[in-house]
Structure 1
Amino acid sequence: MQYQESLQALLINKKKGISYRTQKPIFQLVFQTHHGIISLDVEENAFYAVMIGYSGLLKYEDHRVLSFGPWIKETMYPYPNRIDLSWLNS
C-alpha cells in the first residue's frame, strides 16, 4: 500500500544529481511543512516549473510529488506504475 498525503508546504530547496545506480538524472524538491522538512522526487519538467519560495498545497505519495499548488499537476507527467485505461472512454 502506498502512503499519500496532502498538506500546506513551502519549497525551500531544489536538488539535482545523477543516480549512482542508473546513471540517470534525478530531481528532488525540499519542502518545509508543519511535520518538518521533507525531500521528494519529481520529474524534470516539474522540477523546472517551480522556484524556491513557492508555497501551496503539496500532495505526495511515498517519496514522489503528485502535485504542488498551481505549478505541478498530477497530469503533468506519466507515472510508470499507473495502468493506462484511457481506452475505456472510447
Structure 2
Amino acid sequence: MLTQETVSAIAEITGGTKKDAKAHLDAFKEVVVGALERGEDVELKGFVSFTTKEVAERTAQNPQNGEEVVVPAHRKGSASLAKSLRKF
C-alpha cells in the first residue's frame, strides 16, 4: 500500500478529507522520526515498536575495489511488528 492509498483509506474510515488524513499521517511520521532522533523508542502496543540501536565502529570492504574502509559508529533505526501481526 502506497502513501496515497493509505491516505485515501484513512480518509474513508474516518469520514474526513484526504487533506486532513495526509496531515495526520505526516504528523505521525514527524513524531516518530523526532523521537528516534532523540534516541527514544516509540511503542504502539499491539501494533509496532520503533527502536534505535547503537552500532559500533567496524571495518568493511568496498566491493568495487576490495579496499578496506572504516564504517563509523552510528545509531540505526528498526521497527518490529507486534506478535499478533507477525503471522501476515
TM-score (normalizing by structure 1): 0.21
Bigger relative CO (Cα 8 Å, ≥ 6 apart)? 1
Which is richer in strand? 1
TM-score (normalizing by structure 2): 0.22
